[in-house]
A and B are shown apart, each in its own frame.
Chain A
Amino acid sequence: MTARSLKMPGAHMSALIPLLAVLAAFAVGLLLIVATGASLGQALSAFSQGAFGSSYAISVSLNRATVYALVGIGFVLSARAGLTNVGGEGQIAMGGIAATAVALQPGIADLPLGLAVIIPVLAACLAGGLWGGLAGFLKVRAGTNEVISTLLLSFIAIWLVYWCVQSVDLLRQPMSSGTTLPESSTVPESTMLPLLTGSYASPVTVGVVIAVVLALVAAVVLSRSTFGFDLRFVGLNPVAAARAGIPVERMTILALFLAGALGGLAGAAMLLGEQHSLKTGFSSGYGFDGLVVGLLARGRISGVIAGALLFGFLRSGGITMEMAAGVPTALVQVVQGLIVVAIAGAAYWMDRRPG
């Protein structure tokens, strides 16, 4: 991402065009539902049931949006420093591995004062952060393009999860019989993220609150703090930033570390909040969806929240639509792809042309 895309266009244009893109993509989605021969009313009612039809559905959508938001905030943060973090998927995966490994350590579950949850979560942040920071380190050391390194690190992490749950020496649950599934043991109850409502009927976790708080913190830090200013300076002109005494290399590593830590946190939220045991492909698509949310937010935290909610509810609704109305959830993918392509293309009219 170049400095060009960090320029802020007029507020009305930058809100209107994405809205139009989303509406147009929805219109295509409706046409496709009709084309598949399904009943439009039935499909739509199934979609809304799955997205926000019950407190359970809303909870699931919000938990999903939390993951997208955390990855998206990290993306925007590193983008301020001129860095494109494509590694959300891998950072989630590393967070998931670390959270599981630490939560399953003997003694952790018995810790008082909520430490039983906090320590695995922090471990996940650290693991994701190191995975992101590694890309930053290579960037300053060897000049490695972070787009390439974070992408490759994602694939490596995805297969590390596979390795962890395939091998009994790593995280695979003890083999009691030949049919034991290749996944980790379930994490102890005391290490699971607490539910906001306390009831599994609406399993929205404290992760949502954490994401909202972090979004506010990120928005303030980026726009009002010296750190936020320095980040932007590094992104806009690293040479001048170095002249001005900003430690550019350290900022580069730190920015990617923070983005990775947020991805790791997202992984912990998924694992300790919803899934409770590590499985192959548990992060499937979440990181890339979160990346898209971050990209489409065009540098604004408010945009991240909007995009995270949109994609969170879209995906949840799509899954129910397939189950209840027989409309393949692939249709939601089509709509999502169209939104991405349309907004990416529309950036042409939203950015000011360079002089």
Chain B
Amino acid sequence: MTEELFAVFIASTIRLATPLLLAAIGELLSEKAGVLNMSIEGMMLTGAFAAATGAALSGSPMIGLVCGMVAVIPLSLLQAFLTNTLRANQIVTGLGINILVLGGTTLGYRELFGARSREVIPGFDKWDPPLLGDIPVVGETIFEQVWLVYLTLPVALLAWYVLTRTGLGVAIKAAGAAPRTVQNSGLSVTLIRYGVTLVTGLLAALGGIFLSIGDIHTFTEGMTNGAGYLAIAAVIFGNWRLGQTIIACLVFGAATALQFQLPALGINAPNALLIMMPYLLAFIAVSGLVGRQSAPKTLAQPYWPR
């Protein structure tokens, strides 16, 4: 592998991992609080669609971004209401919302843009960071990315800070590990779970926004194509720890990047194996072959206050 090809590989790994990172950090917060948020796929798709629509109608990707973030809020509230207030099964509501969003965005897209058009939508341009971008060969290839890619850094840092250094983080983790104790200490488990679901929605939407107006500057029907489930797999493979989840997203991004790069290098690896890799790795991780898994204790269980 030449230096240049390697730089391209790193760059596409980062680019492909970005939507996963944003969504997986959100999903991790949710799962820490005991909410298995399957609707993350639908949340990403909502963000992607609303951002594309907003950007196309206004001509401004920034307005598109705002549209994407705003559009996901009612969806998050619906998910939170169903699973916390009505204590509905988290898996059913997640799958239901995903079907609903897939249908709704496809319908909306056909109505607004016409069937299967591939119209280019105003999106974010790549940003050339000072200094880093000036490094020869690598600089231009790796560091010239849409600014949303760089947003993952502060998001990850903030998530780390909240989870490990604040009372809020303790409360979130306790809501998933010992909700009864949280209630006894005077906090509301329901409120915490509503909160994390909202934050997860915003982060997932950002991931979707990156897909449509950050990366390819268009919307296609069902364009998230399982990225939400991949984010869930990353959280599992990351053993519900932030650092490992981030590594998992990068590994998944690299596996996807390799699908396009291996043929270019003349290496004939089965494509299917690379696509399957993230799920296979997550499966091996949960199968207990490598170390103990530490899922939050009340993951996917609704909480009934006394």
Contact = CB atoms under 8 A, between A and B. Distances in A.
A292 B100 contact: no
B107 interface: yes
Nearest to A354: B304
B111 interface: yes
A155 interface: yes
Nearest to A337: B100
B95 A155 contact: no
B140 to A, nearest CB: 34
Interface residues of A, number: 51
Nearest to B278: A155
A332 B287 CA distance: 37
Given A147-B300, A163-B272, A337-B103, A292 B96 contact: yes
A347 interface: yes
A13 to B, nearest CB: 15
Contacts of B97: 337, 341
B91 interface: yes
A148 B110 contact: no
A347 to B, nearest CB: 6
Contact of A331 (B92, B103, B232): B103
Contacts of B288: 138, 141-144
Interface stretch (B12-20, B80-88, B149-157, B159-167): B80-88
Given A160-B276, A328-B110, A353-B304, A145 B286 contact: yes
Interface residues of B, number: 51
Contacts of A1: 89
Interface secondary structure of A, over-half rule:
helix
Contacts of A153: 283
Contacts of B282: 152
A333 interface: yes
Contacts of A335: 103
B273 interface: yes
Interface of B: 36, 78, 81-82, 86-89, 91-93, 95-104, 106-107, 110-111, 115, 221, 226, 229, 232-233, 236, 270-273, 275-276, 279-280, 282-283, 286-288, 293, 295, 299-301, 304
> Which 4 pairs across A and B sit closest by C-beta, in order of nearness?
A142-B288, A337-B100, A333-B103, A340-B96
